[in-house]
Amino acid sequence: MPDRIAVPLYMLTPNQEADFFALLAQKEHRKTKDGKPYLKIAVQDQKRELKFPVWSGTAIYQEIKNIEPGTYCKVRGIYRVSLQYGPQLEILKIRPAEDADAADGFDPLLLRPHSPLSVDAMWDELQTFIKEHLGKGKLLNTLTKILKENRELFSAGAASRHHHHNYTGGLLEHTLSVTKIAASLVDHYHRLYPDKKQDISRPLTIAGAVLHDIGKVREYEPEPAGSLHHSAAGELLGHAVLGRDILREAAAEFELEAETQTHLEHIIIAHQRFPDWGAAKPPMSLEAMIVHHADSCDALLGCFWNTFTTDQTDNALTERKNVIGYPLLKPR
């Protein structure tokens, strides 16, 4: 492939032919209704993902057939957008990227979506936050153990597969945000109704917010391309039940008070509120209600931003077909 100046995939405009680097994020062997084989593939960089078929009988089909998902590639292709199929890519040439391609701008970090925030900084902030607001004792010890034992998966994981914070570091980013929102809501109502401060436990709310999605470290399993799929336990039980189990395992070691443990378990299994969303129970305490709304607010904000990023139109409103289910007004 002769050298050309590489253009980022996310910057390609309709009908533009260019060289670019991309991650082969998905490759599935499929057959048409007539039984002819084809590949359904997905290529991506940090800001754009394209999914499209590659038909058998072409030279490119054979080339891609020999490249494993999770491989960084140098690609020459034409970016196209059709009304019927949306964004597509016509691949002209493709090969695995090489170390020498760094001179042309190859950087693996630019080919995987990741949190815009520093993972290490977020981790330190979360640790400092719980130490400052939970005080010494069994509750802090339980949370510290859970986070320490799951640090790698918790820090690198995504908060969801498609909808919000669906990138490396997204689970930590979402959890830290939900925890700070929930704490702010508690502080607001403590100030507004000082005679009812004892009705809302700040430590329980913060602990519940930190743990509300911890089960996702067991719900998802990473694939070679960096994307996620459900584990068997994740599919059968869901992250709320798995998170409750993680809490139970750690709480037993420190003999966490039974009432505190039950309350925390309720926050975890109720944070999604509706059975269709995965909740075993609706929020039945003030703390559980606050964590639910903090989680919902942050997740919806992530869904909005995800929709703005992936929308291909130049209109003031996004397309109706998105994770929210209706058009959204784009930021100016």
For residue 137, the domain's CATH number is 1.10.3210
Work out the mean pLDDT of the chain and round it to a whole number.
91
Beta strands in 32-120 (DSSP E): 37-44, 49-55, 71-82, 86-96
pLDDT of residue 90: 93
Predicted confidence (pLDDT) per residue in 192-208, tens digit: 999 999 999 999 999 99
pLDDT of residue 135: 86
Catalogue the long-range contacts made by 57-62 (C-beta closer than 8 Å, 24 or more residues apart): 60/91, 60/92, 60/93, 60/94
- 278 and 131, same domain (yes or no): yes
Q: Which two tokens stand for residue 219?
A: 């719900």
What is the C-alpha to C-alpha distance for residues 297 and 278, in angstroms, rounded to an integer? 17
Give me the number of domains the chain comprises.
Answer: 2
Is residue 4 in a domain?
A: no
Q: Which residues of the chain have pLDDT under 50?
A: none
Q: In angstroms, how far is the first alpha carbon of the chain from the final one?
A: 40
- 145 and 53, same domain (yes or no): no
CB 265 within 8 A of CB 251: no
pLDDT of residue 133: 94
Q: DSSP H helical segments within 135-195, as ranges?
A: 138-149, 151-156, 170-192
- 98 and 244, same domain (yes or no): no
Is residue 224 in a domain?
A: yes
- 209 and 185, same domain (yes or no): yes
pLDDT of residue 134: 93
Is residue 139 in a domain?
A: yes
The CATH number of whichever domain residue 90 belongs to comes to 2.40.50.140
Host domain of residue 169: 119-310
Is residue 323 in a domain?
A: no
Is residue 320 in a domain?
A: no
pLDDT of residue 303: 94
pLDDT of residue 184: 98
